[in-house]
Structure 1
């Protein structure tokens, strides 16, 4: 088989996927690489990729064809947002790469289409390998690949401990997960696992949340840490050696460097200024224990993140979401806005000031146990949050705005607009049996694979680690073929 491995600027991903590629090649498969920009060869050099005739750099293609691509009529049945919102959500949040005109982005869009058509067709690519579809480079690879009969394989951590997902689409994984739910019985071992998992759910944290750098409080000392110094050194090296104009996902490397420091300064200041707007832990405990209020939970998200910018692009503005939910909430009921620990410092003081001013809205600190809130709540209103998944498992109504793997689970109601919430708030809740919920947990368990994606942790890559991942990839490819999903 012919594999096309995608490489972009995500730190340390290149090394991880290079190892997978090496194991695929050892099994006799042909490996090709599509790299978003040659800066990759400077920032994270791997000679076998950077100097290979099987490696194709998009920025070179864009540079060579720019004048033609910028004037070429666009013939693509996509929206601007479907292609570019994931990137612009990052540009807006981090405040860089906002200087290019329409001709530039027309060239990029035409370029992505032509680049992937050429690479995939000329090399008879069977499988595209990357993480989940998380940016425009991956999106266009997926879309062009689908039109040419390729299978997309995206590796991403799961919500279950010590398990990961292999995705094959952008938004239809929920159907994949539940497609066999009524024809395959739950085994005794699976039921025992489910019972144990539900019993511990109150204390379980997904693997991707553990030791995550974005969850940690930014301190003045961390802005000048050795790790930050190495990152700055890497970017300065790129600035010195490369022309980043055609690296469309970054733009000016110098601007990227300065925006990184500005962002961390803002997050540090924002967190310090926002603390006074949260209810105290004790106040929340009293409200819950005395059952004083009927309330729903809205969990905020970290931004930018593909879970919203790709799977729910209409709902990436947190303040807009909260105001619209509040506007449709019956008087006398409350909205508890539970901040996400990863989102600490992302929003500014004015955000918290406005949210806390809304009557019937309470701001809950990111350190408060959200499962305790779920237990006493009337349900969860969410875009794509893991909190919605946990609420469904706890037999609470979930009003879902985006696309996510658990959207077919019991008690999950897909909402197409905020106005639909009005009706939902007046419906009596449905309570499902443990057997019903178990079926769906087990279906998700079966969809995932044992293990963790240890990106950036080469010290944990034991001899059989990548062989197992490759085995899992081929298992998923066989599933896709058998289900006729190509």
Structure 2
């Protein structure tokens, strides 16, 4: 039986199932890392035989008797440091720290997780998403380096399913994972057009609009609840800092800088935006990704630096071709400071088009679409347009998708014609390695007809399938020296 560390799966939609499988001996949950708010619910407070750990950013709890990792571990994970740094830099708690301080933080987390994994003889780590944000971005490469298998569940297309993989490197290829199900024929049907109905662009997930006075006054309808919520947030936040003075200094400084940076971003975006778009010239459409965001910051690899991808694209195009770059509708000033725009302007024949320009009009008339890991690539190929990608994405092996590499020829992309039947067959093969269930409340809430009982049955079937497979096919750390 696998000694397991689970990160996430702490919501009511999945947590009872995980506990039940532990109780029935499908796996042994030695550690369960859950959100701070979830850890205080009766469900987790009453758990016996499982150590519940709050998912925290601060290092206050990484203290005491911690083991020193072997020297080879640092050598194996150091190449992953750029991704780790990218994920820590996006957190307010670590906001604006110098690189040398980040290196100290990373090494403390390394000792903390090494102690946890080694002392508890963890045989497998299960993540409820591609590992990102602070600690998770460290735990993943450590488990890989120590020979501890990892399982990642990834909500991805099409809506209402999730993929699974054993490594980030295999996400998008899914060569290492077994087939789980036979999808219904209608699941593989692809409407041949660009526009898709994306749940994360609607309702509470939609791009934020400016808050009206009426919206702000609604908060005062229940003043006691509003005040209590603010007090709870303040108390929880304050616990992460060494003193009220430290909290106030950082908060005030950050608020002042945020105000200044927001104004600069708005000015830069307005000055750079161009409504004059020539749809008849030769161009490639590159819609920017929202950042910070896991799909770019982790699955993008080195191309979490989006301008690097645009620079690589520029180098492979004829001099007279244009690149039309459009901002993500959800983007804020994060990762769009002054030097982003200064560097963008230095790339020849790149136009930062106004947000009012229709994305599907840009897509339809482009020679092809370029993206790091965006939905734009899926929209393009399903409409018959080829896509160039720079990162890992679920549709990576589909017809019409080209992974960027040095030496990739422009004519390889422009001469390829997508066979729609082959595209549907590729989707069918992908769906064989997905689960037609959900474990994320955010996805569940967007489903018009959700059957909790059937969803639970499908999740249970998957875990009873994948855990024995991992025990049989993946050498795990139990009973052998980790090296």
TM-score interval, normalised by the smaller of the two chains: 0.7 to 0.9
Displacement after TM superposition at 1:456 (Å): 5.4
Displacement after TM superposition at 1:263 (Å): 5.0
Q: What is the alpha-carbon distance in structure 2 between the residues aligned to residue 471 and residue 268 of structure 1?
A: 51
Q: What is the alpha-carbon distance in structure 2 between the residues aligned to residue 224 and residue 256 of structure 1?
A: 25
Instruction: Name the counterpart of 2:21.
Output: 24
1:296-445 matches, cutoff 5 A = 296-346=284-334, 347-348=336-337, 351-352=340-341, 355=344, 359-366=348-355, 368-417=357-406, 420=407, 423-424=409-410, 428-445=414-431
Instruction: Name the counterpart of 1:468.
Output: 458
Q: What is the alpha-carbon distance in structure 2 between the residues aligned to residue 164 and residue 384 of structure 1?
A: 16
Structure 1 contact 158–164 (Cα < 8 Å) conserved: yes
CA change 1:84–1:49 in 2 (3 A) is: farther
Displacement after TM superposition at 1:4 (Å): 2.4
Displacement after TM superposition at 1:257 (Å): 9.4
Deviations 1:241-266 (A, max 9, x none): x3557xxxxx9798479758965885
Displacement after TM superposition at 1:35 (Å): 3.3
TM-score (norm 2): 0.74
1:446 to 421, 429, 432: 432
Q: What is the alpha-carbon distance in structure 2 between the residues aligned to residue 465 and residue 140 of structure 1?
A: 31
Displacement after TM superposition at 1:278 (Å): 3.1
Instruction: Name the counterpart of 1:205.
Output: 197
Instruction: Name the counterpart of 2:273.
Output: 278
Q: What is the alpha-carbon distance in structure 2 between the residues aligned to residue 396 and residue 136 of structure 1?
A: 37
Q: What is the alpha-carbon distance in structure 2 between the residues aligned to residue 265 and residue 354 of structure 1?
A: 20
Q: What is the alpha-carbon distance in structure 1 between the residues aligned to residue 111 and residue 332 of structure 2?
A: 38
Instruction: Name the counterpart of 2:479.
Output: none
TM-score (norm 1): 0.74
Displacement after TM superposition at 1:480 (Å): 5.6
Displacement after TM superposition at 1:62 (Å): 2.5
Displacement after TM superposition at 1:304 (Å): 1.6
The range that moved more, 438-447 or 337-346, is 337-346
CA change 1:164–1:101 in 2 (3 A) is: closer
User: What SS does structure 1 have at the residue aligned with 2:30?
Assistant: strand
Q: What is the alpha-carbon distance in structure 1 between the residues aligned to residue 256 and residue 19 of structure 2?
A: 36
Instruction: Name the counterpart of 1:248.
Output: none
2:76 to 78, 83, 87: 78
Q: What is the alpha-carbon distance in structure 2 between the residues aligned to residue 178 and residue 115 of structure 1?
A: 27
Structure 1: gaps spanning 5 or more residues: 246-250
Cα-Cα RMSD: 4.4
Structure 2 contact 171–392 (Cα < 8 Å) conserved: no
Displacement after TM superposition at 1:296 (Å): 0.6
Displacement after TM superposition at 1:475 (Å): 3.7
Q: Larger % of helix: which? A: 1
Structure 2 contact 14–439 (Cα < 8 Å) conserved: no
> How many pairs are equivalent?
451
Q: What is the alpha-carbon distance in structure 1 between the residues aligned to residue 143 and residue 90 of structure 2?
A: 29
Instruction: Name the counterpart of 1:114.
Output: 115
Displacement after TM superposition at 1:300 (Å): 0.9
1:19-58 matches, cutoff 5 A = 19-25=16-22, 27-29=24-26, 30-35=28-33, 41=36, 45-49=40-44, 54-55=50-51, 57=53
Displacement after TM superposition at 1:229 (Å): 7.5
Instruction: Name the counterpart of 1:130.
Output: 128
Structure 2 contact 160–437 (Cα < 8 Å) conserved: yes
User: What SS does structure 1 have at the residue aligned with 2:31?
Assistant: strand
CA change 1:307–1:243 in 2 (3 A) is: closer
Structure 2: gaps spanning 5 or more residues: 220-224, 477-483
CA change 1:26–1:462 in 2 (3 A) is: farther
Structure 2 contact 11–38 (Cα < 8 Å) conserved: no
Displacement after TM superposition at 1:295 (Å): 0.8
Instruction: Name the counterpart of 2:63.
Output: 63
Q: What is the alpha-carbon distance in structure 2 between the residues aligned to residue 224 and residue 258 of structure 1?
A: 28
Displacement after TM superposition at 1:302 (Å): 1.3
Displacement after TM superposition at 1:158 (Å): 1.3
Structure 1 contact 337–362 (Cα < 8 Å) conserved: yes
Deviations 1:63-98 (A, max 9, x none): 1136x759x856334343515624534525857161
